[in-house]
Structure 1
Amino acid sequence: MIAENRRMVVAGNWKMNLGVGETRSYAKTLIELASRKKELKHALFAGDLELILFPPGISIYIAYTELKSTSVAIGAQNVHWEPKGAYTGEISVPMIVEAGCRYALVGHSERRHVFGETIDMTSKKLAACIEGGVTPMLCIGETETERKQGLTEKVLFEQFEGAFGNKIVPTGNIYIAYEPVWAIGTGNTATPDDAESACRFVREKIAERFDAETSRKARILYGGSVNPENAEELLSQNNVDGVLVGGASLKPDAFLSIASSAIR
């Protein structure tokens, strides 16, 4: 059971899906569907859950405007560490704040493996978010090969320590998403026991790196082929404070079904 003072987090990473028109339709459908069920309506408007959506950059502002009457928070999938400059194709922390973002993903495996982002780049993005008043959600996770070699904890530790470095001190609650690379978009999901073990390990490292209070308040999510069928069991684990949902978050009914599993 989740700690009493940590609200469940249900976050949706849309990746490169849902443009402006689709986002507008999504928001309207989300509100309409949630309004039909008392517990979901309360979650959507009263903030019983932390609901976060990470649309593609082009859709951030429309998501914010269409959902600003609800408690749904909006986040960016990626940011640059510089506030402005000659960085073609990039978007800065001040820009996403102006567009309505309160969160940003940093260190996602697709950024690392597809676009070659290094741990140093992740660390600079993390620092820029904290300095700019945006809550970063650090994504960490091992590959299938690393898992088979028994290196999961070593990899998680290196990614966590590398991102926070020696100087970064969070100004609010820490958000970390454990996303095993082998489970992202594959249909393969970590067992609830494996998810719990990894999230517990991360919480222990937070306590060692900062302090027990920071660890207690940290939100540690599981991500990797989360769907309405497996969400409840994953969310029942002691150290799993929520889920970062990929493909299933693209459909309002599926996203709300997962949110229902998080309501206690």
Structure 2
Amino acid sequence: MALAACRAAHSVAGASPSSLAAAAAKPSSSLARPQFAGLRRADVANESSFGAVLSQRLQSAGTGSRGVVSMAGTGKFFVGGNWKCNGTTESIKKLVDELNSVMLEEGVEVVVSPPYLYISQVLGSLSNRIEVAAQNSWVGKGGAFTGEISAEQLADAGVKWVIQGHSERRHVIGETDAMIGKKSAYALSQGLGVIACVGEKLEDREANRTTDVVFEQLQAYADAVGSDWSNIVVAYEPVWAIGTGKVASPQQAQEVHAAIRQWLKEKVSDDVSSKTRIIYGGSVNGANSAELATQEDIDGFLVGGASLKGAEFGVICNAVTAKKVAA
């Protein structure tokens, strides 16, 4: 919701995790209850422009004061489970059985992303209530590219989504922003939905560069994809929170999500800003998912370790109920 007093988006996003613990608990003044459309409230009057927000941030850095800008939105809450390089035939059978027994709430779209080797097994045994994503795809049409999987092959197998730009692909494998953008555009051209990951490393956050890094990554997607983001879900995953047990506070995550939404408004279009789902990833679990879900611009989650536990993943998916209550 709009806040009469809150921290500057870039300033807060750039602070270290420890420095924000006390600030996150400070109360803010409240406004009249807004009207809601979909998962987020309707546009508020007197929205700050992107340039004005950044200008104000530069003027008030350290003072912690600006109005958070958010848009109206529609679409289902979205939860993805990234199994990464984990699992065996037997353990994945057990996990799928657990997922098939989970009672999922209405209004949540769920996908899971097994290792390539087990995609067929999962497609053949998982309830159709949950879709399947790949963890990566090649930059273009298949051919003499040893070890790669093409978007055409994924679509042919029945896969609906693909994760692109995950921090491990960026910082371990060495994929560039430009390559990730190109891979995403090709996957979209072959009918796949793209979970487009962005996020800063700890040194970027501590150097007050969170939004600089995130916006650069977003720009690479925009350069390759253009103006049609209808099959893209943006996943904000601060690298310092992935698999570490550290979680951005709900307020920290909301600040960056709101900044992403404003960037989409200014750099792509009002419509893309309003309709694009922005999900959070970084040590999300059954205990913290409901509180994170109450934040206005958090439209779901990309889950790592907890997605390997069927019952807990179900709890995270059903955090959609907290979103509905907050709205």
Q: Mark yes or no: TM-score above 0.5.
A: yes
Task: State the Cα distance separating 1:167 from its structure 2 match.
Answer: 5.7
Task: State the Cα distance separating 1:234 from its structure 2 match.
Answer: 0.6
Q: What amino acid is the match of 1:8? A: F
* Alpha-carbon displacement from aligned partner over 1:88-140 (angstroms, at most 9, x marks no partner): 10000011112221111111110011111111110111111111110111100
| Identity level (%) | 38
Match of 1:87 among 119, 127, 145: 145
2:85 corresponds to: 16
Match of 1:58 among 108, 117, 122: 117
| Cα distance in 1 for residues equivalent to 2:301 and 2:277 | 10
Task: State the Cα distance separating 1:240 from its structure 2 match.
Answer: 0.3
* Alpha-carbon displacement from aligned partner over 1:65-87 (angstroms, at most 9, x marks no partner): 212x4321110001001221111
Matches within 5 A, 1:1-264: 2-3=39-40, 5-32=74-101, 34=102, 40-41=103-104, 43=105, 48-67=107-126, 69-165=127-223, 168-170=226-228, 172-263=230-321, 264=324
The gaps in structure 2 that reach 5 residues or longer are: 2-38, 41-72
1:130/1:171 contact within 8 Å kept: no
1:130/1:170 contact within 8 Å kept: no
Q: Secondary structure at the match of 1:159?
A: helix
TM-score by length of 2: 0.74
Q: Secondary structure at the match of 1:170?
A: coil
Q: Secondary structure at the match of 1:114?
A: helix
Task: State the Cα distance separating 1:11 from its structure 2 match.
Answer: 0.9
TM-score by length of 1: 0.91
1:12/1:52 contact within 8 Å kept: yes
- 4+ residue segments displaced more than 3 Å: none
| Cα distance in 2 for residues equivalent to 1:165 and 1:155 | 16
The gaps in structure 1 that reach 5 residues or longer are: 35-39
Q: What is the count of residue pairs matched by the alignment?
A: 253
Segment drifting more, 17-26 vs 245-254: 17-26
Q: Secondary structure at the match of 1:84?
A: coil
Q: Secondary structure at the match of 1:11?
A: strand
**Larger Rg, first or second structure (1 or 2):** 2
1:76/1:103 contact within 8 Å kept: yes
